[in-house]
Amino acid sequence: MALNKLFSSLTINSNLISRRAIHISAVNFASKPPIEKPKPGFGKSYRRIVHFPEKYTVKPLEVTNLAGRDPVTGRVVAKGIGGGIKHKYHWIDWLRDGPTEGPPQEEKVIQVMEDGCRTAHIALVAVGEKLKYILATENMKAGDILKTSRYLPRIPVRANEGDAYVLGALPTGTLVHCIEKEPGQGGLYVHAAGTYGTILRRQDDRIVVQMPSKRTFSFSPLCMAVVGRLSNVDHGDTPIGSPQRNRWLGNRPRSGLWKRKDGRHGRKIRPPKPVKEISASMNPPPAKIVRLTMVP
């Protein structure tokens, strides 16, 4: 009898403990809802919201700093992002469009300036009666004349720094940036300060370009690219100087936990990745939905 009572009390206590554990775990899970974290690439930005008008303008645009918070819920999503100094946003015209036949279009550089919302410097350019902003190259200065053309010649052209031509018109070894993914889409690749891609070779009817990450991409010869290396070359080598300036730049301090370097910091020898072909057929259009109606 005593043993039976002892076993029954033990089972009751174990049931109570398991119920409490389940309740506690459920409460903890319910108190932490799933948060959608930012993904690298063309995902959601948690640094700032730029208030774009309907038409393109060279007037500096208003910016709302998010400091790593979700604009809808207000929760901190990206912990390393801070508010930073308030900056105006200069709208870059990524599409360098020129004539498909005849002489190239000429554009004049009015001013080269710094931009607080990007690492590379920008240039104010006049095209006829229109003004626009583009990314400045390493040696670009006020008064330079830039050429833009979409004509694909039989013999490669000798382009100067800042000129925009299709990839098929440029010789092998040319340094390029602001490369289009598809013809007419606008410069999508290589925007950071001091970076550049290199035209390596022509493969069948494609142009193989080595990106700043040393990966090789294969583009259509009709994709536009701007010649030269991007400005602000010393951006990566310039020390920040003080923790306060790091906060001005919009970076929050780390946790302060000292961590010893482990094996992941060692030397690794990996084979180069294969050439990635950039084409318009990578994302096929969605299938059409056909509704069927019953005939009475």
Kindly report the number of other CB atoms within 10 A of residue 210's CB atom: 16
Nearest to 183, CA basis, from 100, 80, 246, 68: 100
Task: Answer for the pair 284, 115: CB distance below 8 angstroms, yes or no.
Answer: no
pLDDT band at 262 (very low <50, low <70, confident <90, very high): confident
Position with higher pLDDT, 4 vs 237: 237
Q: Read off the pLDDT of residues 116-127 as tens digits, 9 standing for 90 and up.
A: 899 999 999 999
CB contact set of 242 (below 8 Å; sequence gap of 6+): none
The average confidence (pLDDT) of the chain is: 83
* Burial degree of 137 (CB within 10 A; 0-12, 13-18, 19+): buried
Q: Read off the pLDDT of residues 128-151 as tens digits, 9 standing for 90 and up.
A: 889 999 999 999 999 999 999 999
Residue 163 within a domain: yes
For position 177, what pLDDT does the model report? 95
Show the domain range for 201: 105-232
Residue 135 within a domain: yes
121 and 226 part of one domain: yes
DSSP for residue 106: E
Number of domains in the chain: 2
178 and 87 part of one domain: no
pLDDT at 3 over 50: no
109 and 228 part of one domain: yes
80 and 160 part of one domain: no
Mean pLDDT of 70-90: 89
Q: Among 188, 211, 232, where does a domain finish?
A: 232
CA–CA separation, 132 vs 58, rounded Å? Answer: 6
70 and 185 part of one domain: no
Mean pLDDT of 253-279: 84
Residue 12 within a domain: no
Q: Read off the pLDDT of residues 172-183 as tens digits, 9 standing for 90 and up.
A: 999 999 999 989
Nearest to 179, CA basis, from 216, 134, 223: 223
122 and 162 part of one domain: yes
CA–CA separation, 234 vs 12, rounded Å? Answer: 70
For position 119, what pLDDT does the model report? 93
CB contact set of 77 (below 8 Å; sequence gap of 6+): 35, 36, 37, 38, 46, 68, 69, 70
For position 257, what pLDDT does the model report? 86
pLDDT at 16 over 80: no
Q: Read off the pLDDT of residues 167-217 as tens digits, 9 standing for 90 and up.
A: 999 999 999 999 999 898 889 999 999 999 999 999 888 999 999 999 999
Q: For the whole prediction, is pTM greater than 0.85?
A: no
**Percent of all residues in the chain with a pLDDT value above 70, rounded to a whole number:** 80
Nearest to 221, CA basis, from 237, 238, 240, 208: 208
66 and 133 part of one domain: no
Mean pLDDT of 217-222: 92
Which two three-digit tokens encode residue 118?
Answer: 């990007």
pLDDT at 57 over 60: yes
For position 42, what pLDDT does the model report? 60
Q: Which of 74-88, 164-178, 270-284 has the lowest mean pLDDT?
A: 270-284
Task: Answer for the pair 186, 117: CB distance below 8 angstroms, yes or no.
Answer: no
Q: How far is CA 213 from CA 82, 166, 201, 230, 273, in A?
A: 27, 22, 17, 15, 11
Which two three-digit tokens encode residue 263?
Answer: 């094996």
68 and 127 part of one domain: no
pLDDT at 9 over 90: no
Pairing outcome for strands 105-113 and 179-180: unpaired
123 and 214 part of one domain: yes
54 and 138 part of one domain: no
Task: Answer for the pair 277, 218: CB distance below 8 angstroms, yes or no.
Answer: yes
Residue 71 within a domain: yes
- The DSSP bridge partners found for residue 124 are 111, 133
